[in-house]
Amino acid sequence: MGSFYLPKPTSKSRRCGQDAHFLCREKLTLGVADGIGGWLKKGIDSGKYSRELLKNSVAALDRESRGSVNLRRVLEEAFCMTKSEGSSTACIITLRDDDHDHVHCLNALNVGDSGFMLFRNNKCKFQSTSQQHRFNHPYQLGNFNYGDGPDIATEIVLPVESGDVVVVGTDGLLDNMFPYEIEGILNRTQDDKNVAKLAKTIAKYASYNATDRYSDSPFSRARKLAGTKPRLGGKIDDISVLVAKII
């Protein structure tokens, strides 16, 4: 497992941004959360919420068994323990193994517009679907009256094979890169076994697209589909990329 994080340059919290992530190799589990930026208008840094949510997720993982992690229980416990103001999306993934430590299944739990892609032989086999109340207003966990709870999380179970690559990200990645662009990176770097380096390469590519005013990005296409004023270009945002390779 490897990761790379790029806070957006305009972030008021330059060192931390509003994304958070974790890698738990012991429990074959990883996750991201994206604090909702709209809280800044009320003077609230929702990055504190996303970081506390995942800190509590890791604490809940300590009570789970490797290879058979109950993600819904983990997220529900973390949600109940998180007291910071704000809200965030969340995507948590665990890899299940059998008695011989052979990974054969991926379990994911997703809330909002963070998500993941599964690649096999450098081709995208699956991409999770964004959960949104309306355009650019994702489902979100939080301590406020109209917030969503972990019960609305989408649960995904997929078979995996040796050599598969899982790419997890916040919307800073998914709004700025299509699966075929990541396929191109995987093809160019397939001999490099360093997944942290791969995560950095993907994040840098997404960052470049985010600042390209003429990019036909996933975000610009989503704007058009939503019926809002069409606009080319990416979306400048915090970018979190996590990569896991099945062995």
User: What is the average pLDDT value for the chain, to the nearest integer?
Assistant: 93
Predicted TM-score (pTM) of the model is 0.94
2-245: which CATH topology? Phosphatase 2c; domain 1 (3.60.40)
7: number of Cβ within 10 Å: 19
| Class of residue 97 by CB neighbours under 10 A (exposed 0-12, middle 13-18, buried 19+) | middle
Which residue(s) pair with 8 in the sheet? none
pLDDT at 236: 94
Q: Is 124 exposed, middle or buried (0-12, 13-18, 19+ CB in 10 A)?
A: middle
pLDDT at 143: 86
C-beta of residue 54 within 8 angstroms of C-beta of residue 19: no
Using DSSP, state whether 74 is helix, strand or coil. helix
pLDDT of residue 111: 98
**Strand blocks (E) in the chain:** 2-6, 19-24, 29-35, 87-97, 103-111, 115-120, 123-127, 132-134, 137-138, 141-142, 154-159, 165-169, 239-245
Count of all residues that appear for the chain in the document: 247
Three-class secondary structure of residue 60 per DSSP: helix
The predicted-structure confidence for 41-61, as pLDDT tens digits, reads as follows 899 999 999 999 999 999 999
Q: What is the pLDDT of residues 141-166, one digit of tens each?
A: 998 888 899 999 999 999 999 999 99
Render pLDDT for 91-119 as a digit per residue (tens, 0 to 9).
999 998 765 556 689 999 999 999 999 99
Domain locations in the chain?
2-245
- For residues 161 and 56, what is the distance between their CA atoms, to the nearest angstrom? 30
